[in-house]
Amino acid sequence: MKPHILRYILAACMLATCTLSSSAKDYQAVVFGAKSDGVTLNTQSIQRAIDHIAAEGGGRLIFTVGRYLTGAIQLKSNVTLHIGEGATLVAAPPIYDMLTGSMPPALISAKGQDHVAITGKGVIEGNSQKLQNSGKTQVDKGYLRAEDVPAHPMTHAKADAVTRLMPCIIYMEQCSNVTIKNIQIQDAANDAIVLHQSKGCKLESVRFFHLHGHLPLVQDQCTGVTSKDNYADDKSVAYTLVSGEGKNESVK
């Protein structure tokens, strides 16, 4: 075979490999069994997808139009949750579905992970009233105690049991290079985003609605937290974070 033909074939193979590699970095949630009917509990299928993508070296898990009901899920390094326009990730109402064991209650959490992201023009819905009703029922019956569940870093020690059990939307602990961009967060049962001992976190064009008096962003012992072009409909808490020193600061 002539050298120039061999070079052509090798170049074509390399181009095909790069193309396949690039396209392989996007994964559809429905391929892993996620249902967008707003009824099916998708926790296991979404977590299985995240674990698979992380094992493959990273990529985006894409949610298309529909409502995806899920319990607590944990992000892994180099994985992006991309919630597309018209897609909504909905917190499952039983309080037990929000409990992760060693982590404070949260719909989406990560610990010790690097380069994680939540993007897209879709919605993350906290389902606050149903979660509060579920938590209150379990506490009143004596089945669940606040001290059995790790509390968020800034939770007041005197807060009632139900309040302490409520999940935030996003919780990141000891993570680095976190990006949350373009997403809409609504109907939070607790503070929307909590960052603990993390660094290099960026919030951009995040929209907060119906926070019920909770904060859009809380950070504790973090460095390099930046915020740009975010919006909250509750002006009393808009663009506010609570630092580890206990003082309020603007992040507008």
Angle (nearest 5°) at CA 165 between 76 and 50: 15
What is the 3-class SS of the chain, one letter each residue? Answer: CCHHHHHHHHHHHHHHHHHHHHHCCEEEHHHHCCCCEEEEECHHHHHHHHHHHHHCCCEEEEECCEEEEECCEECCCCEEEEECCCEEEEECCCHHHHCCCCCCCEEEEEECCEEEEEECCCEEECCHHHHHHHHHHHHHCCCCCHHHCCCCCCCCCCCCHHHHHCCEEEEEECCEEEEEECCEEECCCCCCEEEECCEEEEEECCEEECCCCCCCEEEECCECCEEECCEECCCCCCCEEECCCCCEEECC
Q: What's the pLDDT at 13?
A: 45
User: Edge-to-edge strand order for the sheet containing 184-186?
Assistant: 37-41, 66-70, 87-91, 123-125, 184-186, 207-209, 231-232
What type of residue is 201? C
Q: Higher-confidence residue: 234 or 165?
A: 165
- Token couple for 116: 């994680």
26 to each of 34, 54, 59, 107, 225, how far by Cα in Å? 15, 12, 6, 22, 27
Q: Are 197 and 222 in contact (CB under 8 A)?
A: yes
Q: pLDDT band at 168, cuts 50/70/90?
A: very high
Note the pLDDT of residue 157: 58
Q: In this predicted structure, what is the pLDDT of residue 246?
A: 40
How far is Cα 225 from Cα 86, in angstroms, rounded to an integer?
Answer: 28
User: What pLDDT does 9 receive?
Assistant: 43
- pLDDT value at residue 236: 62
Burial class (CB in 10 A: 0-12, 13-18, 19+), 58: middle
pLDDT of residue 237: 65
Mean pLDDT, rounded, of the chain: 85
Work out the average pLDDT over 209-227. 90
- At 118, list the tokens: 């939540």
Q: What is the pLDDT of residues 49-100, one digit of tens each?
A: 999 999 999 999 999 999 999 999 999 999 999 999 999 999 999 999 999 8
Per-residue pLDDT at 235: 67
pLDDT of 234 above 70: yes
Task: Please state, in angstroms and rounded to a whole number, the distance separating the CA atoms of residues 10 and 7.
Answer: 5
Q: What percent of the chain has pLDDT over 70?
A: 82
- Lowest mean pLDDT, pick from 13-17, 160-164, 212-216: 13-17
233, pLDDT greater than 80: yes
What are the tens digits of pLDDT across the range 91-150? 999 999 999 878 899 999 999 999 999 999 999 999 999 999 999 999 999 999 888 888
